[in-house]
């Protein structure tokens, strides 16, 4: 489903990712954790090519992007088409109503008829518990509500894969649960998910696989249970000990 | 000291110049907004040629007096091209070309002020570049720059008085006509001045209102 081979990424002289090799199967729920600056966000953004890898290739479904080969716009679009992304800071369109946030891309990109897009959007809003907010504007929502709308907006494009970059990190503590609940519900829905998170309990309870990153490398790739009971590397042990 | 009574019958004549002045301002601002948007897009495009055209254009129109631009378009251009523009068209054309240059600078800065996350959200949703610009980025850029845009409208409204020079009977010109007829200068000018001032105040408070409303949504 997702295959990254020999991915590296440099910003100027800074090596942010070094020789990442990663295969994620369909319906896996992968949590990525690691210290700040270890390259988690960059790794995630290399999957949907918001960041172009410096070397290596990314395959999503049947489409392959190659850093020094096939990097055409069609390839990039075909990869992004399969992927929804949720950002730490939501990035909702502030000048559009919640409903229009959800229907804009389906109507203008997928060419869904407006009426059908609207019905689908209402259904999705219902699913994230925000049906009554359809006509509200993003500024009128709490952080937790905004993030749930952002999730619904990504789902409206019917992706097979969802990427989450610290979806609860800019939320007040009391709003974290409502977002995690929506994400948990998604895990029961045949979705492949890759989640960068600091919510260890969520990673333990919802993920089927856990990656620990440090200095641009994946240094542990294991089950959440194994990781939290007995991390193999010293860096992971230190990381976990600093959390409590 | 004041002799408003002497020009009383002419006051409606002066005030009706408000319509012409507003017409000039509004049509020019609309054309300027369109031109300015196009130029702003040129300025942020990846093409060096388009950027050069837009920057050169802006530099020339901001670097010379508006009165001179009006003179060239109304008096000199007919000599070169063999077409005479009616004053109204010449005025609108000059003000549109001129405000397009200023507005393009305002919008370019506005586009830069839109959070980079907006573009990334568009990319992740596969929204094509031109649609993202038109429907997502530009509306926010215009909103962010609303105060500067209103200032531009106010400037244009005041500078529209220049068209009286090419014979258009706008607010200022009407005041001057009455003044010449009655040999009374201060009173007609005061009336025209009051009209300008009220329009500017109106625009400024409209802008405040808009800003407040946009903040809510
Ligand atoms: N666009 C960029 N330009 C330059 N450096 C960047 C850029 N994006 C990220 N970095 C750097 O790359 C490193 C990894 O960043 P990131 O992937 O965001 O880490 P994490 O998400 O794990 O905190 C950091 O040192 C960061 O400063
Ligand atoms: Mg990050």
Domain boundaries, chain B: 4-216
Q: What is the Cα–Cα distance from A236 to A224, expressed in whole angstroms?
A: 12
Once rounded to an integer, what is the mean pLDDT over residues B198-207? 91
* A128: Cβ contacts below 8 Å, ≥ 6 apart: A148, A149, A151, A152, A182
Which chain A residues contact residue B118 at CB under 8 A?
A: 91, 93
Helical pair A98-108 and A143-155, crossing angle rounded to 10 deg: 20
| Mode of pairing for the β-strands spanning A2-11 and A83-86 | unpaired
Identify the DSSP state of A243.
Answer: H
Work out the number of other CB atoms within 10 angstroms of the CB of residue B206: 12
Secondary structure element (H or E) that encloses residue A76, with its range: helix A73-80
List the structure tokens of B200.
């500017």
Q: What is the Cα–Cα distance from A142 to A97, expressed in whole angstroms?
A: 14
Going by pLDDT thresholds of 50, 70 and 90, the confidence category of residue B216 is low
Once rounded to an integer, what is the mean pLDDT over residues A235-239? 93
Residue A192 in contact with ligand 1 by CB distance below 6 A: no
Once rounded to an integer, what is the mean pLDDT over residues B153-165? 90
Q: Supply the residue whose CA is at minimum distance from atom 9 of ligand 1.
A: A42
* A222: Cβ contacts below 8 Å, ≥ 6 apart: A209, A210, A232
Whole-number pLDDT of residue B169: 86
What is the C-alpha radius of gyration for chain B, rounded to an integer number of angstroms?
A: 21
Whole-number pLDDT of residue A199: 93
Best mutation target among A75, A94, A149 (most B Cβ atoms within 10 Å) is A94
C-alpha neighbours within 13 Å on the C-beta side of residue A42: 25
| B115 contacts A154? CB cut-off 8 A | no
The CA A140 to ligand 2 mean position distance, Å, reads: 26
Give percent of chain A above pLDDT 90. Answer: 95
Q: Which CATH architecture has domain B4-216?
A: Orthogonal Bundle (1.10)
Whole-number Cα distances in Å, B76 to B62, B87, B96, B173: 20, 13, 18, 22
| B127 contacts A50? CB cut-off 8 A | no
pLDDT, mean over chain A: 95
Query: How far apart are the CA of B141 and the nearest CA of chain A, in angstroms?
Result: 11
Cβ–Cβ contact B140 with A under 8 A:
yes
Interface confidence (ipTM) of the complex: 0.94
Work out the number of other CB atoms within 10 angstroms of the CB of residue B9: 10
Whole-number pLDDT of residue A112: 97
DSSP, residue by residue, chain B: ---HHHHGGGHHHHHTHHHHHHHHHHHHHHHHHHHHHHHHHHHHSS-HHHHHHHHHHHHHHHHS-HHHHHHIIIIIHHHHHS----HHHHHHHHHHHHHHHHHHHHHHHHHHHS-HHHHHHHHHTT--HHHIIIIIIHHHHHHHTHHHHHHHHHHHHHHGGGGGGGT---HHHHHHHHHHHHT--HHHHHHHHHHHHHHHHHHHHHHHHHHHHHHH-
Whole-number pLDDT of residue B209: 85
Whole-number pLDDT of residue B96: 96
Residues B55-103: tens digit of each pLDDT: 999 999 999 999 999 999 998 888 888 888 888 899 999 999 999 999 9
Residues A158-198: tens digit of each pLDDT: 999 999 999 999 999 999 999 999 999 999 888 999 999 99
Give percent of chain A above pLDDT 70. Answer: 100
Going by pLDDT thresholds of 50, 70 and 90, the confidence category of residue A244 is low
- Which of A52, A184, A208 has the alpha carbon at shortest distance from A127? A184
Coil, strand or helix at A24:
strand
Identify the DSSP state of A38.
Answer: S
Residue B120 pLDDT exceeds 80:
yes
Whole-number pLDDT of residue B77: 84
The CA A229 to ligand 2 mean position distance, Å, reads: 25
Q: Please, what sign has the CA dihedral across residues A151, A153, A158, A164?
A: negative
Once rounded to an integer, what is the mean pLDDT over residues B28-33? 94
Once rounded to an integer, what is the mean pLDDT over residues A99-125? 97
List the structure tokens of A190.
């045949």
Closest alpha carbon within chain A to B137: A93
Long-range own/partner contacts, residues A69-76 (CB < 8 A, 24 or more apart): A76/A49
For A158: left if phi > 0, alpha if psi spans -120 to 50, otherwise beta; the answer is left
- Which of B70, B63, B57, B59 has the alpha carbon at shortest distance from B24? B70
- Which of B45, B210, B20, B33 has the alpha carbon at shortest distance from B129? B45
For residue A46, which ligand has an atom nearest its CA?
Answer: 1
The CA B132 to ligand 1 mean position distance, Å, reads: 25
List the structure tokens of A147.
């993030």
Residue A42 in contact with ligand 1 by CB distance below 6 A: yes
Residue A124 pLDDT exceeds 70:
yes
Residue A235 in contact with ligand 1 by CB distance below 6 A: no
Question: Taking chain A, what is the end-to-end CA distance rounded to the nearest angstrom?
Answer: 35
| A81 contacts B125? CB cut-off 8 A | no
Give percent of chain B above pLDDT 70. Answer: 98
Quick check: A4 and A19 in contact, CB under 8 A?
Answer: no
Q: Identify which has the larger pLDDT, B9 or A85.
A: A85
Once rounded to an integer, what is the mean pLDDT over residues B133-157? 90
Q: Which of B117, B139, B143 faces A91 most closely, judged by CB atoms?
A: B117
Least confident of A106-115, A164-173, B9-18, B122-131: B9-18
Q: What is the Cα–Cα distance from B36 to B42, expressed in whole angstroms?
A: 10
Whole-number pLDDT of residue A86: 98
Name the phi and psi angles at A79, rounded to 5.
-75, -45
Cβ–Cβ contact B211 with A under 8 A:
no
Residue B217 pLDDT exceeds 60:
no
Whole-number pLDDT of residue B3: 82
In what side-by-side order are the strands of the sheet with A2-11? A14-24, A2-11, A55-60, A63-66
């Amino acid at each position: 489903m997702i295959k990254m081979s020999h991915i590296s990424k440099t910003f100027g002289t800074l090596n942010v990712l070094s020789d990442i090799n990663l295969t994620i199967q369909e319906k896996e729920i992968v949590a990525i954790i690691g210290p700040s600056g270890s390259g988690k966000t960059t790794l995630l953004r290399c999957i949907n090519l918001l960041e172009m890898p410096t070397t290596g290739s990314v395959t999503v479904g049947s489409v392959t992007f190659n850093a020094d080969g096939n990097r055409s716009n069609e390839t990039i679009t075909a990869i992004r088409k399969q992927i929804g992304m949720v950002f730490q800071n939501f990035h909702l369109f502030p000048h559009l109503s919640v409903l229009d946030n959800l229907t804009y891309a389906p109507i203008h990109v997928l060419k869904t008829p407006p009426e059908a897009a609207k019905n689908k959007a209402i259904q999705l809003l219902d699913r994230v518990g925000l049906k009554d907010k359809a006509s509200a504007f993003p500024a009128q929502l709490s952080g937790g509500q905004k993030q749930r709308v952002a999730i619904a907006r990504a789902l409206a494009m019917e992706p097979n894969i969802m990427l989450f970059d610290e979806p609860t990190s800019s939320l007040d503590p009391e709003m974290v649960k409502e977002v995690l609940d929506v994400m948990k519900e998604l895990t029961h829905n045949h979705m492949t998910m890759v989640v960068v998170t600091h919510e260890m309990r969520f990673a333990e309870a919802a993920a089927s696989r856990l990656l620990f990153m440090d200095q641009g490398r994946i240094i542990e790739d294991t089950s959440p249970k194994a990781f939290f009971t007995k991390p193999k590397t010293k860096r992971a042990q230190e990381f976990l000990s600093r959390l409590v | 000291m004041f002799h408003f009574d002497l020009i009383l019958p002419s006051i409606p004549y002066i005030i009706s110049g408000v319509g012409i002045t507003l017409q000039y301002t509004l049509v020019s601002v609309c054309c300027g907004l369109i031109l300015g948007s196009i130029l702003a897009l040129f300025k942020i495009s990846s093409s060096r040629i388009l950027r050069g055209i837009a920057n050169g254009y802006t530099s020339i129109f901001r670097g010379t007096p508006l009165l001179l631009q009006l003179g060239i378009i109304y008096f000199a251009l007919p000599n070169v091209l063999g077409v005479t523009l009616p004053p109204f068209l010449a005025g609108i054309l000059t003000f549109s070309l001129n405000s397009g240059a200023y507005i393009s600078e305002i919008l370019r800065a506005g586009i830069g002020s839109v959070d980079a996350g907006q573009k990334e959200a568009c990319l992740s949703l596969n929204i094509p570049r031109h649609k993202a610009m038109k429907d997502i980025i530009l509306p926010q850029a215009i909103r962010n720059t609303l105060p500067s845009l209103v200032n531009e409208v106010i400037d244009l409204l005041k500078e529209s008085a220049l068209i009286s020079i090419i014979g258009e009977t706008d607010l200022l010109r009407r005041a001057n006509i009455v003044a010449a007829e009655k040999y009374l200068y201060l009173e007609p000018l005061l009336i025209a001045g009051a009209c300008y001032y009220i329009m500017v105040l109106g625009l400024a408070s409209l802008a405040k209102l808009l800003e407040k409303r946009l903040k809510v949504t």
